[in-house]
């Protein structure tokens, strides 16, 4: 089977043409052919059919192979062009080949022609396929996001791109030609901070011939900053050149999303300040640096806003949020770039002062912040003055953990707050010891509640006017035999006072644990227990002695208790369980507790009164001495603080105060109880001033329930008439 071949002949001689055809047939072809002799004919033939090969004579009348070749090239059809001639020399033949002819066969050697044609057909096909593949690659490359490239690093240290796709226009804002001509244009765009990393990654890939993978920032000619990612396969050529084939992608969007995620993980959403995680990272850097660099000092400031909750509750959460944002901004203005302010809790901020000269610097900044805070802020059209308590820790080599720094700064802040709002304290080791003690105490209190280590002591409250003033109290019992030395006063009730029978520390008075119990909220459980147990005790006494025993028990409540929504419910339950009526009870609350939320407290007190429970205002005069709102309070009794009683001297200021309180109370119908009466002189004055009830060591210390019971049985408390009378216990 012979091979079909469309052959176009540029030949003036019919005979020569037939010779060629003959030769092709002999070589296994089945040629279909056309012969042309002029440029015009050649044009027409090229345009009207497809040709597998052009076989051209060298010289024709008015035409020649050079011209024919030129026309063939212009047609862009890449048809094999074979010269057949007997007349040209070597030189011309070479010229022709240079101009793009594919082969040259001598007329006297025509039997070589089929071989030449066959080879050229094959080559043309290879060329066609390659071209197709290249076109495909171009199409692909221009449709892929990013840029495809082959980059060569030559053994002699020079480098260039062998291939670069059109993507470079978009990505690098350079044309492929510009890049091919000068590869360093690309490298000039690498962000200055990423160059070292890029170099390391490239070197590593070159040395180990491992894939190159790297992300970096580009600064493009138009001034854009882009994140790009390169991934390329590397290979080493025989000549030692290293080539990377790969793609470069614009990953700015992904990077931005990632950065946002990272940012969000490290910042507080409300103020956009660093959060605790970021703070801890930075503290750890500071800790490590302090260990390495002798001269490096830093400080940590722990800020807690005073009374933020009140502002939040009264002005609303939106205003509260706004306030926190404003404060975040304010704090920043006092810091340098290197410092850091973080928000680590509702109203808690922590500042890290980097590289300071000493504690004075930290104090200076603290004082500046505090002064700045004195300027009122406008929130919701109202002026708000906010103050803050600040704890300061000087970072030294001794710190190894961020948590320790924060703990100590926190301790110091608490100290500042406890001492005086709007103040600061510098942490010292003594504070730490105390804090540890407090912490143990807190856990111990919890255990004490479980193990029922609390007990109640009962301090008698007595009627000090009694018969002597023709008082309303009947049945004052005086044992006639002892009248000369001992006076007897009628017992009207007890104040229930908590004691802690600690398994190792022994008997602990409330002063040592009540403040912590209040801070931790444990006081609520303690007082609930006290209330129940005291009621139970009184109920027992009532059944044991007479059912109309005229004794009251007075129980202390703290601020935490009256904030509890279920206080009344608890009280009702206790009354129901013990079968006690409210009128055998009094509740003692202090003035400061009243003031905190006066309308709400009045509400609560009214509810208590509805249950016939009496209200006693405790420690009166010690705090706000607000005689002016006394009449608004639904109170029954008023306890004059023992500091006044203690320091009374005839006619002195305390004496005057006590006198006024008693007079005013009597007018308002409040019963006055003087506490802390230690001497008969004090008693005498109080009696003169018309104080009805008294309580104090002169009559009795707080008593265990057994001792108290003995007293209940006798209904009377005896006291000595000596200055420092013997006390009953």
User: Where does this chain bind ligand C2E (CB under 6 A)?
Assistant: 459, 497-498, 509-511, 514, 523, 527, 530, 556-558, 588, 618-619, 642, 675-678, 695-697, 702
Q: Which is nearer to ligand C2E, 31 or 460 (CB)?
A: 460
Nearest to 496 by CA among 539, 530, 536: 530
Q: How far is the CB of 529 from ligand C2E (least distance, A)?
A: 9
Residue 639 beta carbon to Ca ion: minimum distance, rounded to whole angstroms:
5
Q: What kind and span of H or E run contains 322? A: helix 317-333
Minimum CB separation from ligand C2E for residue 556, in Å? Answer: 4
Q: Which does 146 bind (CB under 5 to 8 A by kind): ligand C2E, Ca ion, none?
A: none
542-570 b/e (C-beta count within 10 Å ≥ 16 → b):
beeeeeeeebbbbbbbbbbbbbbeebeeb
C-beta closer to ligand C2E: residue 344 or 498: 498
* Smallest distance, ligand C2E to C-beta of residue 275, A: 38
DSSP assignments along 206-266, one per residue: HHHTPPEEEEEEEE-TTS-EEEEEEEEEEEE-TTS-EEEEEEEEE-HHHHHHHHHHHHHHH
Scanning 268-276, 562-570, 612-620, 686-694 for contacts with Ca ion by CB under 5 A, the matching segment is 612-620
Phi, psi of 241 (to 5 degrees): -65, 145
Output phi, psi for 268, to 5 deg: -80, 125
CB 553 to ligand C2E: min, Å: 11
The DSSP code sequence of 669-684 is TPEEEEE---SHHHHH
408 binds, among ligand C2E, Ca ion, none (CB under 5 to 8 A by kind): none
- Stretch of 103-111, 346-354, 374-382, 585-593 contacting Ca ion, by CB under 5 A: 585-593
Total binding residues toward Ca ion, as defined by CB under 5 A: 4
Which region, judged by CB under 5 A, interacts with Ca ion, from 252-260, 363-371, 584-592, 593-601?
A: 584-592
Nearer to ligand C2E, 161 or 494 (CB): 494
Least distance (Å) between residue 489 CB and ligand C2E: 14
Residue 556 binds Ca ion, judged by CB under 5 A:
yes
CA-to-CA distance for 60 and 569, rounded, in angstroms? 125
Q: What distances in angstroms separate CA 395 from CA 281, 408, 417, one per listed residue?
A: 15, 11, 22
Provide, rounded to whole angstroms, the least separation between the CB of residue 581 and Ca ion. Answer: 22
- Token output for 411: 């301790």
Q: Cα-flanking dihedrals φ and ψ of residue 728, to 5°?
A: -85, 140
Nearer to Ca ion, 304 or 588 (CB): 588
Residue 618 near Ca ion by CB under 5 A:
yes
Helices marked H in 472-618:
510-520, 522-544, 559-563, 567-578, 591-596, 598-610
How far apart CA 498 and CA 494 sit, in angstroms, is 12
Q: Which is nearer to ligand C2E, 296 or 697 (CB)?
A: 697
Q: Using CB distances below 5 to 8 A depending on partner kind, what does residue 527 bind out of ligand C2E, Ca ion, none?
A: ligand C2E
Task: Please enumerate in sequence order all residues whose Cβ is within 8 A of that of 707, keeping only pairs 6 or more positions apart, or say none.
Answer: 729
According to the binding rule CB under 5 A, does residue 588 interact with Ca ion? yes
Residue nearest to Ca ion according to CB distances in the complex? 588
Nearest to ligand C2E of 348, 527 (CB atom): 527
Give which of Ca ion, ligand C2E, none residue 696 binds (C-beta under 5 to 8 Å, depending on kind): ligand C2E
Residues in a beta bridge with 555:
496, 587
The arrangement of strands across the sheet holding 147-153 comes to: 159-164, 147-153, 242-250, 225-236, 212-219
Residue appearing with tokens 């939106």 = 318
Q: Which is nearer to Ca ion, 618 or 678 (CB)?
A: 618
Choose from Ca ion, ligand C2E, none: what does 459 bind? Cβ within 5-8 Å by kind: ligand C2E
State the minimum distance, in angstroms, from the CB of residue 463 to ligand C2E. 16
Does 619 contact Ca ion by CB under 5 A? yes
Instruction: Please say which residue, 591 or 618, places its beta carbon nearer to Ca ion.
Output: 618
> CA 8, CA 51: separation in Å to the nearest integer?
7
Closest chain position to ligand C2E (CB): 696
In the complex with ligand C2E, the residue whose CB is nearer, 393 or 497, is: 497
Closest approach of ligand C2E to the CB of residue 292, in Å:
51
Angle (nearest 5°) at CA 618 between 612 and 622: 155
CB 499 within 8 A of CB 703: no
Q: Least separation, in Å, of the C-beta of 721 and ligand C2E?
A: 17
Least distance in angstroms from the C-beta of 695 to ligand C2E: 6
Q: Please tell me the distance from the alpha carbon of residue 645 to that of residue 697, in angstroms, as a whole number.
A: 12
Three-state SS string across 468-505, please? HHCCCCCCCCCCHHHCCCEEEEEEEEEEEEEEEEECCC
Instruction: State which residue, 418 or 509, has the beta carbon closest to ligand C2E.
Output: 509
Partner from Ca ion, ligand C2E, none contacting 702, C-beta within 5 to 8 A by type: ligand C2E
Using CA atoms, how far apart are residues 609 and 635, in angstroms rounded to an integer?
A: 9
Instruction: Give the H or E element holding residue 617.
Output: strand 614-620
CB of residue 554 vs ligand C2E: minimum separation in angstroms? 9
| Tokens 């020569």 found at | 16
Full strand arrangement of the beta sheet holding 348-353: 340-345, 348-353, 298-305, 388-395, 424-426
Of these partners, ligand C2E, Ca ion, none, which one is at the site of residue 62 (CB under 5 to 8 Å by kind)?
none
**Which stretch, 116-124, 539-547, 550-558, 625-633, contacts Ca ion (CB under 5 A)?**
550-558
C-alpha 360/C-alpha 511 separation (Å) is 36
Secondary structure class of 303 (helix, strand, coil): strand
Instruction: Tell the smallest beta-carbon distance from residue 471 to ligand C2E (Å).
Output: 22
The nearest distance, CB 300 to ligand C2E, in angstroms, is 35
Which of the stretches 16-24, 338-346, 500-508, 616-624 binds Ca ion when contact is defined by CB under 5 A?
Answer: 616-624
Nearest to ligand C2E of 250, 675 (CB atom): 675
* Residue 520 Cβ vs ligand C2E, minimum distance, rounded to whole Å: 13
Half-sphere exposure of 285 (CA within 13 A, CB side): 12
- Whose Cβ is closer to ligand C2E: residue 366's or residue 614's? 614
Of 425 and 528, nearer to ligand C2E (C-beta) is: 528
Task: Give the separation between CA 425 and CA 406, rounded to whole angstroms.
Answer: 14
Considering the complex, state which of residue 118 and residue 438 has its C-beta at the smaller distance from ligand C2E: 438
- Between residues 46 and 617, which has the closer beta carbon with respect to Ca ion? 617
Binding segment (CB under 5 A) for Ca ion, from list 70-78, 256-264, 307-315, 614-622? 614-622
Assess 306 for contact with Ca ion (CB under 5 A): no
DSSP helix/strand/coil, 268: coil
Residues 655, 657, 663, CA angle at the centre, nearest 5°? 100
Q: What does the alpha-carbon distance between residue 392 and residue 644 come to, in Å, rounded to a whole number?
A: 38
Binding mask 113-152 for Ca ion (x = CB under 5 A): ----------------------------------------
Return residues touching Ca ion (CB under 5 A).
Answer: 556, 588, 618-619
């Amino acid at each position: 089977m012979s091979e079909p071949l469309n052959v176009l002949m540029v030949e003036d001689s019919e005979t020569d043409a037939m010779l060629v055809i003959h030769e092709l047939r002999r070589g296994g072809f089945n040629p279909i052919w056309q012969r042309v002799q002029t440029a015009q004919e050649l044009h027409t033939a090229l345009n009207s059919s497809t040709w597998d090969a052009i076989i051209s004579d060298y010289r024709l009348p008015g035409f020649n192979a050079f011209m024919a070749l030129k026309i063939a090239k212009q047609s862009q059809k890449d048809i094999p062009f074979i010269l057949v001639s007997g007349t040209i020399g070597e030189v011309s033949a070479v010229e022709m080949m240079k101009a793009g002819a594919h082969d040259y066969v001598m007329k006297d050697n025509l039997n070589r022609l089929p071989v030449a044609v066959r080879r050229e057909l094959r080559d043309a096909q290879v060329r066609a396929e390659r071209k197709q593949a290249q076109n495909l690659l171009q199409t692909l490359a221009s449709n892929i996001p990013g840029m495809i490239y082959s980059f060569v690093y030559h053994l002699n240290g020079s480098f260039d791109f062998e291939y670069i796709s059109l993507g470079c226009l978009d990505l690098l804002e350079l044309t492929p030609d510009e890049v091919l001509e000068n590869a360093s244009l690309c490298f000039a765009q690498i962000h200055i901070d990423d160059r070292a990393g890029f170099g390391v990654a490239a070197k590593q890939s070159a040395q180990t011939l491992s894939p190159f993978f790297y992300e970096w920032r580009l600064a493009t000619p138009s001034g854009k900053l882009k994140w790009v990612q390169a991934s390329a396969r590397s290979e080493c050529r025989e000549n030692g050149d290293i080539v990377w084939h790969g793609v470069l992608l614009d990953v700015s969007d992904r990077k931005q999303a990632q950065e946002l995620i990272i940012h969000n993980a490290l910042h507080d959403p409300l103020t956009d300040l660093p959060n605790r995680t970021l703070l801890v990272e930075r503290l750890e850097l500071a800790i490590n640096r302090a260990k390495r660099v002798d001269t490096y000092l830093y400080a940590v400031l722990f800020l807690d806003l005073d009374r933020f909750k009140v502002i939040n509750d009264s002005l609303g959460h939106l205003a509260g949020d706004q306030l926190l944002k404003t404060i975040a901004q304010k704090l920043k203005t006092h810091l340098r770039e290197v410092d850091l302010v973080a928000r680590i809790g509702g109203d808690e901020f922590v500042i890290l002062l980097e590289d300071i000269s000493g504690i004075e610097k930290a104090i200076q900044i603290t004082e500046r912040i505090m002064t700045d805070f004195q300027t009122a802020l406008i929130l919701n059209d109202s002026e708000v003055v906010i103050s803050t308590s600040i704890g300061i820790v000087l970072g030294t080599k001794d710190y190894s953990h961020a948590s320790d720094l924060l703990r100590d700064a926190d301790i110091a802040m608490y100290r500042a707050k406890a001492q005086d709002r709007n103040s600061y304290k510098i942490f010292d080791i003594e504070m730490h010891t105390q804090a540890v003690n407090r912490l143990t105490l807190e856990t111990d209190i919890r255990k004490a509640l479980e193990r029922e280590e609390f007990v109640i002591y009962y301090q008698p409250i007595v009627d000090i006017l009694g018969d002597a003033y023709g008082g309303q109290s009947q049945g004052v019992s005086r044992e006639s035999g002892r009248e000369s030395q001992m006076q007897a006063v009628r017992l009207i009730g007890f104040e229930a006072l908590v004691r802690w029978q600690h398994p190792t520390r022994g008997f602990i008075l409330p002063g040592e644990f009540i403040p912590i119990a209040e801070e931790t909220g444990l006081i609520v459980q303690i007082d609930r227990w006290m209330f129940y147990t005291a009621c139970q005790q009184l109920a027992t006494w009532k059944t044991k002695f007479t059912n109309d025993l005229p004794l009251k028990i007075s129980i202390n409540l703290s601020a935490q208790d009256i904030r509890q929504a279920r206080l009344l419910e608890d009280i009702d339950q206790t009354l129901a369980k013990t079968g006690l009526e409210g009128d055998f009870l009094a509740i003692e609350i202090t003035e400061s507790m009243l003031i905190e939320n006066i309308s709400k407290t009045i509400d609560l007190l009214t509810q208590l009164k509805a249950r016939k429970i009496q209200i006693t205002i405790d420690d009166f005069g010690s705090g706000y001495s607000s005689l002016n709102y006394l009449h608004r309070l639904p109170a029954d009794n008023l306890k004059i603080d023992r500091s006044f009683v203690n320091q009374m001297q005839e006619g002195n200021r305390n004496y005057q105060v006590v006198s006024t309180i008693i007079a005013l109370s009597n007018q308002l119908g409040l019963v006055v109880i003087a506490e802390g009466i230690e001497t008969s002189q004090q008693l005498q004055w109080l009696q003169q001033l018309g104080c009805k009830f008294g309580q104090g060591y002169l009559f009795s210390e707080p008593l265990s329930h057994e001792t108290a019971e003995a007293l209940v049985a006798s209904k009377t408390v005896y006291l000595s008439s000596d200055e420092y009378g013997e006390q009953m216990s």
